[in-house]
Structure 1
Amino acid sequence: MQDFTNENLDLSLLPTYETVALHQLNKKYWKVILLNIAVFMFFLGMAIYLLCYLLKLTFAESYLLIGGYVMIGILLVTIYKVSMKKRGFAIREKDLIYKSGIISISTSIVPFNRIQHITLNEGVFSRLFHLAALHIFTAGGLSGNIVIPGLDIELAHTIKQELSRQLNQQAHHESSRDTDGK
């Protein structure tokens, strides 16, 4: 019989994730973001035009709507530009780190043994620039899932293959442990 122990850990000896060098998203991803903003702004502009037309507003009367439209465009570009600089990821021996956010910085650290499956998504605009998004689904549910956008397609495939290899290796290890234990 073993004696149960549950000693306190010296917190100063724990490794810190803040010191990990994160890889930035591919710079071409900024073009994808701009295209997405342009599509959104096009439809917003059409809705504003339709509103002005239906209400029979003159240019002077619709000045406030047009000003708001311009401000929304500037705000979106600024927010996404800052967001782009704050995002990063790293793959370590036993886990994956993803950091994002502007005002509230979110850092997700997902151990490989929590990953359920991985998918690769190439959006219409991303495909134009040979980029993809890696979707990592975890056992933690929706809050634990991670999407890393703006990866070079070859790098995304390589990461997916490595994570899949880790998952297969882990599944093999667990199945052999279950077989040995019975």
Structure 2
Amino acid sequence: MRIQAVLTAIPFVIGALVGEIGGMLMSGAFLVPVVLVAVFLILMVPLRRFNARGYDMADDRLRVVRGLLFRSDTVVPFSRVQHIDVEQGPLERAFGIARLVLHTAGTHNASVTLPGLAYDDAAAMREAIRAHVKRETM
């Protein structure tokens, strides 16, 4: 999450730096606040976002809680799961983490994503849920 925050902040810092070097802005008038906000966003926001997430996998359901300002508490019974994905982007692959995505029937909240899991944990959870779904369909 911090790397994503850094990648998001870089264009703003570069823009402020170019504005000051080009003489369009007073020295430090824009760059200093932009850098301070970027440091705050890089150091504090990912930590708060990480702490605002959680999950609980019971024998028959997965509960996912997330959100800073707007809290979301989602319970997915395994009997409603249609298919399960373990996804990784390039940054996630580099750090060995993955997202577990449960797809259910319906249109509203038809997919529940659980990000930030170790890849092995996500794969093990997928197999446990798959085994439970397979037992119920037999």
| TM tier, smaller | 0.7 to 0.9
Q: What amino acid sits opposite 2:115 in the alignment?
A: P
SS in 1 for 2:102: strand
Q: Tell me if the contact between 1:113 and 1:167 (Cα under 8 Å) persists in the aligned partners.
A: yes
Residue 158 in structure 1 maps to residue 124 in structure 2: yes
Gapped regions of structure 2 (runs ≥ 5): none
Distance 1:146 1:152 in 2: 17
Distance 2:83 2:21 in 1: 49
**1:136 aligned to 102, 113, 120, which one?**
102
Identical-pair percentage: 19
Q: Tell me if the contact between 1:114 and 1:140 (Cα under 8 Å) persists in the aligned partners.
A: no
Q: What amino acid sits opposite 1:108 in the alignment?
A: T
- Would you say how many aligned residue pairs link Structure 1 and Structure 2? 138
Shift, 1:45, TM fit: 2.3
1:43 aligns with: 11
Shift, 1:164, TM fit: 1.5
Aligned-residue Cα RMSD (Å) equals 2.3
Q: What amino acid sits opposite 2:122 in the alignment?
A: A
Distance 2:87 2:44 in 1: 25
The structure where strand makes up a greater share of residues is 2
Distance 2:75 2:10 in 1: 37
Distance 1:138 1:76, change over 3 A: farther
Shift, 1:75, TM fit: 3.7
Matching of residues 6-155 of structure 1 within 5 Å: 33-50=1-18, 52=19, 56-60=23-27, 63-64=29-30, 66-75=32-41, 77-155=43-121
SS in 1 for 2:132: helix
Shift, 1:55, TM fit: 7.0
SS in 2 for 1:143: coil
Shift, 1:69, TM fit: 4.6
Shift, 1:68, TM fit: 3.4
Q: TM-score, normalised by structure 2?
A: 0.83
Distance 2:105 2:15 in 1: 41
Q: What amino acid sits opposite 1:114 in the alignment?
A: R
SS in 1 for 2:109: helix
Shift, 1:59, TM fit: 4.2
Q: What amino acid sits opposite 1:34 in the alignment?
A: R
Q: What amino acid sits opposite 1:57 in the alignment?
A: M
Gapped regions of structure 1 (runs ≥ 5): 1-32, 173-182
